[in-house]
Amino acid sequence: MADAGPRPSQARGVPRDGAVPDRITVHGLTGHGFHGVYPAERQHGQTFRVDAVLELDTAPAAATDDLARTVNYAELAQALHAVLVGEPVDLLETLAQRLADRCLADPLVDAVEITVHKPDADLGVPADDVTVAIRRTRR
């Protein structure tokens, strides 16, 4: 019998049987950026790390073994890196939004969670890391 296409419960962006959506994750993407509100941050820069978790339906790619039917994570990593080391912003929240917008520019991505790490943030007290995490969905 020929495949009649996705059943309503398997429509794009809707998890099958209430399951967790498929995910592609890029973890620990690192770059030297000049983000921050303090002059020294803008002058010297520091290391930033990004974790990006994309939600999408990977079944079409798996069924066809076709890279064009999923997110090419190498290309994604390069695009996120360009944002990370690109135009400086004051807030990690702004940087996270720009990274999320880049991910959602791919029509296959239904939702994204971005975590921006600023491990060398000067807090005036010892700390391992500062992070801002956001989740955005396609509207």
28 token code pair = 């620990």
71 token code pair = 């997110």
- Active-site residue set: 118
* C-alpha span between 41 and 33 (Å, rounded): 9
φ, ψ for residue 29 (rounded to 5)?
Answer: -60, 125
27 token code pair = 């973890």
**Which whole-number Å values give the CA distances from 129 to 28, 30, 42, 53, 123, in the listed order?**
13, 14, 19, 19, 10
Beta carbons within 10 angstroms of residue 56's beta carbon:
25
